[in-house]
Amino acid sequence: MGGARLVRDIVIKHSIGGIQTMEHSLRLLAHLRQFGTLTSLKFMRDPLTSERTGLAFASYLHYDEAAQALRVQQQTVDGLPAPFNTIDVTPFKKQAQDGH
């Protein structure tokens, strides 16, 4: 089936220096909520240092809400310190597992 794929999950690439505090996390959360109802927001952490890696995953309740968030790939988050206030938003693509 060709055409657009429906996704509810998005990947957020952010600068590690931009989202270091709970306040910064809440600003990102508020930014993402403008597109719809979030069901989850998870920041990835380095397993050894527990520092954030610069990736986060967000899930929306409805496909159209995720589509709205994905309309602009590079977004500016109000309230985050420049130059760390820019995020890249892309659809989450599940990795196909093969035997190689």
Query: For the domain bounded by 9-91, which CATH number is listed?
Result: 3.30.70.330
- Whole-number Cα distances in Å, 68 to 7, 37, 40, 51, 86: 11, 12, 17, 30, 17
Whole-number pLDDT of residue 20 = 79
17: left (phi over 0), alpha (psi -120 to 50) or beta: alpha
pTM value?
Answer: 0.80
- pLDDT single digits (tens) 60-94: 999 999 999 999 889 999 988 888 888 899 988 76
- Domain ranges (residues) in the chain: 9-91
Q: To the nearest 5 percent, what fractions of the chain are helix, strand and coil? A: 20, 30, 50
CB atoms near residue 65 (< 10 Å) = 21
If you average pLDDT over every residue of the chain, what do you get? Answer: 84
